[in-house]
Amino acid sequence: MIPTQWKAAIIIGVIVLLAAMGFMLKYQHDMIQRQQFMEQSVVQMKQLQDNIVRAQSEYLSKKDLDTFAKQNAIDLGPIREDLKKLGATIDGIAVVVAKTPGENVTNIQSTTVVPNKQPIPDEKVKCSDGSTVTCPDTFGYLHNTQELKLDEPVTNAKPIPWGMVSFSASREKPWDLVVLPREYSATTVLSVNADGRHFVHNQLSIKSDGKTYTIPIDHNEFAEVYPSESFSFSPRLYLGADFGLYANPPISFAAVPNLQLAIFSYGKTKLLPVWTFLGVGLGYEAEHKGINLVISPANFNIGQYIPFTSNLFVGPTVGIDAGGNILVLGGIRVGL
């Protein structure tokens, strides 16, 4: 006759093997789905009113996000060092580009003409016959200061004041230049939907000469790391109910409500894992009215596929009562 401890070891080994096979199949399936989703998840940039722009958004792997940063001349090294102190990681990068077209214009008339306080007297030139001729100041350049207001052109928007340049021919150093102070502002609105997908809206503006001007955005892109599943140490209590049979003769039905502490998890988040591992706890076997030690090697979250719930796990359980009898069980549990 096979000793009880050997029976328990065989049963636990079979359960662990089946759980490992199920985990590997699920992992391969998730990898394929992940790649397909990333390839189909690009949301195109969209121009809204008031020069507000919804960014083009896409999911990238962590490696591809590093490449994206390098392409946009962003050094992630100092950022990651700073985030270590805050216990945070980089989830995404937003890049916003706005352009002004520039201008190259000739024969521009002065914006204003200001008379010189001390105008230069008309210049007289002596002719060969002894007479004198007064040189005319046809455009008033010797008697006035020419001023030109400078604006920066913006595509499909009002030009933004840049400054003023003036020229006075009556001075040894004739040029004056005024550059207006500017205030640049970028506003970002980050949103998230029920599936955890982020959306970014941006608006760029410049404050110059006491007024604020919004600038059309030419390129707006947000790339975020696709949330990948990973193992984590995340102890959590689960309330469950398991049903099965006593492995020792005489074989009989067993129902064991129980409370377990699962030690590890695997998933995108600790709050809603896909798998939990190594659940250990106590249960009460209703038929024989006894306390049982229960161990659940692995549990799978079927709640992610069921409407109106996301926290319902199923999996096998091994129980041992006070008399050393082995219970082979399976059941459901919910996280507390």
Instruction: State the average pLDDT over residues 178-192.
Output: 80
Per-residue pLDDT at 259 exceeds 90: yes
The answer on 80 and 132 residing in a single domain is: no
Instruction: State the average pLDDT over residues 35-55.
Output: 68
**Predicted structure pTM score:** 0.54
Determine, yes or no, domain membership for 311. yes
* Dist. CA 10–CA 5, nearest whole Å: 9
Determine, yes or no, domain membership for 95. yes
Radius of gyration of the chain (CA): 38
Instruction: State the average pLDDT over residues 236-247.
Output: 90
Average pLDDT score over the chain: 79
Q: How confident is the model at residue 31 (pLDDT cuts 50, 70, 90)?
A: low
How far are the Cα atoms of 67, 68, 197 from residue 63, in angstroms, in the given order? Answer: 7, 9, 19
Per-residue pLDDT at 137 exceeds 50: yes
* Dist. CA 297–CA 20, nearest whole Å: 10
* pLDDT of 26: 61
Give the closest residue to 153 by CA, choosing from 111, 102, 106, 108: 102
From start to end of 17-168, where are the E strands? 46-47, 53-54, 56-60, 92-97, 112-115, 124-126, 132-134, 144-154, 157-168
How many independent structural domains does the chain possess?
Answer: 3
The answer on 318 and 240 residing in a single domain is: yes
The answer on 236 and 116 residing in a single domain is: no
The answer on 236 and 327 residing in a single domain is: yes
Determine, yes or no, domain membership for 140. yes
The answer on 308 and 196 residing in a single domain is: no
The answer on 198 and 73 residing in a single domain is: yes
* pLDDT of 114: 81
Per-residue pLDDT at 142 exceeds 70: yes
pLDDT tens string 270-284: 778 889 998 999 999
H or E, element range at 190: strand 182-192
Determine, yes or no, domain membership for 107. no
Per-residue pLDDT at 178 exceeds 50: yes
Per-residue pLDDT at 34 exceeds 60: no
The answer on 290 and 189 residing in a single domain is: no
In contact, 163 and 184? CB cutoff 8 Å:
no
Domain ranges, residue 298: 4-31+229-335
* pLDDT of 299: 92
* pLDDT of 296: 92
| Three-state secondary structure readout of 38-70 | HHCCCECCEECHHHCEECEEEEECHHHHHHHHH
Determine, yes or no, domain membership for 211. no
The answer on 311 and 247 residing in a single domain is: yes
* pLDDT of 124: 66
pLDDT tens string 189-240: 777 776 677 788 888 888 888 888 888 888 888 887 776 777 888 889 999 9
Determine, yes or no, domain membership for 106. no
pLDDT tens string 80-121: 888 788 777 777 888 888 777 766 666 677 788 788 766 666
The answer on 126 and 51 residing in a single domain is: no
